[in-house]
Amino acid sequence: MELRNITGLTANWTNYLWTFRGVYAHAEATIGGTPPLGDEEKTEFMGLGLSYDDGSWLLMSELTRVEVDGFYQDTDSAYITLGYRVKEVTPYVTASWVESQDNYERDGTPLEVLDVRRQAYSLGFRWDMTTSVAMKVDWTHARGFGKTTGGLIGNQLDALAGNPGGRFDSTDVYTVRLDAAF
C-alpha cells in the first residue's frame, strides 16, 4: 500500500491522570496485489482514545474506523487494556475486536478473502529492565472469525485455493520482545 497527500488533525487533552485524544487523517492510497485493489483511492482514518495512568494503574482504550474507497475493506476496531505496575513490572490484560463493515461489496468474488471479523484476548507483562530497555512478553488468543478468514493469511490462501472454510478458526500468538531506546 502506498499513501500520498496525507493530511490530518489530532487533538489531545490531559490533566496528567486522564488523557483524551482524537485523530482524523485523509490520504490517497494505491493498493497493490493481483489484481490491484485500488489506485488513488480516497482513504480516511478516524480514532478516539482515552487513557488513565496514576503511576500504578494503567487503563487505555481506543476506537478506530478506516474507510477506503474501492474493494479494500473498511474496518472498525477497538481495544481496552488494563495494567498494574509493581515496581519495574507491569502485568496487563487486553481485549480487542476488528470487523470489516463493507463485506457486501466483495460477496461472491475472490476479494471476499479481505472480509475480517476477529476478537482477541491478551495476557502479558512489561519489565522495565533499565530506564531505556524493556522486555515485553505476551500471549494473544484470537477467535470469532465467523464466515470470514479472520484476517489470517493462511485462511486467505486456502479460500483462494477453493477451501472457503479455512483451516483455522482461532490462533494463538506468543511474543517475547526487547525494546531499547538510544
Kindly indicate the confidence band of residue 35, based on its pLDDT and cuts at 50, 70 and 90: low
Q: What is the pTM of this model?
A: 0.86
Q: What are the pLDDT digits (tens) for 158-167?
A: 888 877 666 7
Choose among 82, 118, 127: nearest CA to 100.
118
Q: What are the pLDDT digits (tens) for 65-110?
A: 999 887 788 999 999 999 999 999 999 999 999 999 988 887 777 7
Choose among 42, 21, 39, 20: nearest CA to 31.
39
pLDDT for res 167: 75
What b/e readout covers 5-40, taking b as 16+ CB neighbours within 10 angstroms?
Answer: eeeeeeeeeeeeeeeeeebebbbbbebeeeeebbee
- Taking the CA atoms of residue 105, residue 107, residue 110 and residue 113 in that order, the dihedral angle to the nearest 10 degrees is 90
Residue 1: pLDDT over 70: yes
CA distance 75 to 98: 7
Kindly state the average pLDDT of the residues 59-68.
96
Domain 2-180: CATH class, spelled out: mainly beta
| Residue spans per domain, the chain | 2-180
Return the minimum-mean-pLDDT range out of 45-54, 88-97, 141-150, 154-163: 154-163
- Altogether, the residues listed in the chain come to a count of 182
Q: Which residues pair with 96 in a beta bridge?
A: 79, 120
CA distance 23 to 10: 4
pLDDT for res 140: 98
CA distance 149 to 115: 7
Percent of the chain at pLDDT exceeding 90: 63
